Amino acid sequence: MTFMTTELMHYDKITRRDWQNLYKKTIPILTETELENIKSINDEISLQDVNDVYLPLVQLIRIYMKTMRDLSFSKGLFLQKIAESQPFIIGIAGSVAVGKSTTARLLQLLLTQTFKNSQVALVTTDGFLYPNQTLIAKNILQRKGFPESYDMVALIDFLSDIKSGKDVEIPVYSHQIYDILPEKTVVKSPDILIVEGINVFQSALNKRLYINDFFDFSIYIDATAGHIEQWYLERFKTLLELAKKDQENYYHQFTKLSSSETLKMAKETWKQVNLINLREFIEPTRSRAEVILHKNKSHKIDQIYLKKY
């Protein structure tokens, strides 16, 4: 995707080569097995990427965490009261199939290694999608993933409760059945929380609150639309292969179609749903991120954009 000049004005553009030289200290490295276990379907990431891009990113997050704690302490002194400890919240946004989940899981692993006495939790906003039954009742099932398909009020309430230090029960989404599960999970007041999803920089319906008002650090994963489309099609094909022998899998119903039919369906879904959502609702929020990680055709991060102000 090509940045507009006005959008770039408040970012420093940093090449991968320059970025990797910003932080040289070595922290415990991951193994190939650990890296393989956190990769999303058809995503690509290497130990070199960890060294060149993500270790400097973790160091930058460390700086933001120290700044937040110093500010909280100083505000406590000003107000003459003990400042309550708040979790550090990181938001990760970007298109479908761009690699958000891999980045989120990798950061969780690296931050857990870096801050050994801290609890690092990860939540995806998929759990705040309305159940399919509700989407059908609202006649918006075909717009699943668009802003109106999320319970944004519940998501903001969740972030508010987490910031207040509460344990919070949240819904769980299953990509296998393409719906919200009956059971819920509990997020127990973490020290660091990573929130990942296509809508993490979007506003609630009342337009008065943005989800990223709760974020202490935010990342947008970026790439050209053409590259993302190719990754989406590759992932769709892999999902069909995995669903062939699983009749409970949502994608199983499509495995009986021919290759040409499934490719046509995937392309139409990309064009009529995911590309529109990207252009109209996801991409316009990109400039709300502190850091933009831009990927090239091979999934390799080649440019980093760091917000100046």
What value does the mean pLDDT take over residues 55-62? Answer: 95
Write down the CATH superfamily of domain 5-307. Answer: P-loop containing nucleotide triphosphate hydrolases (3.40.50.300)
pLDDT at 32: 87
Q: Residues 174, 180, 183, 186: what is their CA dihedral angle, to the nearest 10 degrees?
A: 80
Q: What token pair was written down for 222?
A: 């970026």
What value does the mean pLDDT take over residues 35-52? Answer: 89
Dihedral sign (CA 128, 129, 134, 138): positive
pLDDT in tens, 65-81: 999 999 999 999 999 98
Do residues 286 and 223 make contact, with C-beta atoms less than 8 angstroms apart?
A: no
The residue to which tokens 């006495």 are assigned: 117
- Which range has the worst mean pLDDT, 106-110, 175-179, 200-204? 200-204
pLDDT at 41: 82
Residue 210 has pLDDT above 90, yes or no: no
Residue 181: pLDDT band (50, 70, 90) is very high
Residue 207: pLDDT band (50, 70, 90) is low
Dihedral sign (CA 89, 299, 273, 220): positive
Residue 1: pLDDT band (50, 70, 90) is very low
Residue 2 has pLDDT above 80, yes or no: no
Average pLDDT of the residues of the chain: 91
Do residues 49 and 300 make contact, with C-beta atoms less than 8 angstroms apart?
A: yes
Cα angle 238, 173, 239; round to 5: 5
pLDDT in tens, 270-308: 999 999 999 999 999 999 999 999 999 999 999 999 999
DSSP conformation letters of the chain: -PPPHHHHTTEEEEEHHHHHTS-----PPPPHHHHHHHPPTT----HHHIIIIIHHHHHHHHHHHHHHHHHHHHHHHHHTSPPPP--EEEEEEE-TTSSHHHHHHHHHHHHHHHSTTS-EEEEEGGGGBPPHHHHHHTT-GGGBTBGGGB-HHHHHHHHHHHHTT-EEEEEEEETTTTEEEEEEEEEE--SEEEEE-TTTTPBPTTSS-BGGGG-SEEEEEE--HHHHHHHHHHHHHHHHHHHTT-TTSGGGGGTTS-HHHHHHHHHHHIIIIIHHHIIIIIGGGGGG-SEEEEE-TTS-EEEEEEE--
pLDDT in tens, 111-170: 999 999 999 999 999 999 999 999 999 999 999 999 999 999 999 999 999 999 999 999
Share of the chain above pLDDT 90, in %: 77
